[in-house]
Amino acid sequence: MDSTAALTTTFESVADFCPEPGSAYVAGVSVEKRSRHGEQWEHGCRNVQFYRVLREAADEIEFSGAGGVIQLRSLSQLTAFWQAVESKVLYLDITGLRHSTWAALLRGLKNTDGKRVRVVYVEPDDYRMNPRPTQNVIYDLSEKIEGIRPLPGFARFRRDRNAGVFAPLLGFEGTRLQYLINQLEPSGQLIFPIVGVPGFRAEFPFITYWANRTALRESQAWRKVIFAPASCPFATLNVINQLRYEHKNRSIALAPIGTKPQSLAAVISALQYPEQVEIVYDHPVRKAERTEGIKRLHVYEVTQLVCHG
């Protein structure tokens, strides 16, 4: 039996899911309609405390109700927020939250005793096609890239960046991979792209290859592609750990530019091994209506991965 399967519960419809009674549910609504899935069942849930992220900025977020404003770089504020939540079961819905927000919130859970932590993610049914596709931009997903800077609280200093391993978790935006390679200038021999196989849909891995083909070909990184399921952070984490083991004397730079479940694995790895693993992120500005429809909802049991060590 696949040990990772026991850590994931998948619902074919969001209507089939309801948070456990007595739990707390943290979520936010983005430009994508699928981030509003909670509205379908929120009022039918019993004894669930909801915390809504009303505003996301580069360095702070604002919650509804008693949550208030939290500085994302302040570990003490992040920890205090979670400690003030009386519920023993915590849900963090990353579907509508920016990477900088949910990664920081996960960071605040470290060394939080007596809590069970579950991450929720809802797949889109499809992505919006670019009306004028180019060789690297097939889907219309981002307005622009704001530039490379650390996620709040994840800043690392690496003297051997050029000699380290670069592992981008690929999505459909080949321009983002090309941008990261141009900025970081990693050694072509040490680029290990991670592709979501199987994808959310059967054809998605082929689209990933096609969209990233220019950078993969020019860097010769296509020779070192690694596969991990697009919807499974635990299998992706196993792949990252294998890279860590094989390159134990090198730093590992992870670029979470693919699916959020795989990005979750990257963030967990950076939390677990801060001396070796860093997150490299380009902070895209998402386009409105970038996805279409709602598919499966996944609940990931991450307590042992984010609350200890």
Domain ranges for the chain: 3-125+291-306, 142-286
In the predicted model, what is the mean pLDDT of the chain?
87
Q: Which CATH class is domain 142-286?
A: alpha beta
Give, for 209, the enclosing helix (H) or strand (E): helix 204-211
Give, for 124, the enclosing helix (H) or strand (E): strand 116-127
Query: pLDDT category, 75, cuts 50, 70, 90?
Result: very high
Task: Kindly state the average pLDDT of the residues 298-303.
Answer: 96
**Of the candidates 23, 17, 21, which has an alpha carbon nearest to the alpha carbon of residue 46?**
21
**What is the pLDDT, as a whole number, of residue 31?**
64
d(CA 262, CA 94): 12
Lowest mean pLDDT among 12-16, 75-79, 289-293: 289-293
Q: What is the DSSP letter of 133?
A: -
* % pLDDT > 90, the chain: 60
pLDDT of 27 > 80? The answer is yes
pLDDT of 136 > 80? The answer is no
Q: 169: Cβ–Cβ under 8 A, 6 or more apart, which residues? A: 193, 194, 196, 236, 254, 255, 256, 257, 258, 259, 262, 263, 265, 266
pLDDT of 1 > 50? The answer is no
Count CA atoms within 13 Å of residue 106 on its CB side: 33
Q: Which residue has the higher pLDDT, 251 or 145?
A: 251
pLDDT of 301 > 60? The answer is yes
Helices 233-246 and 260-272, axial angle in degrees (round to 10): 50
Query: pLDDT category, 157, cuts 50, 70, 90?
Result: low
What does pTM read for this prediction? 0.91
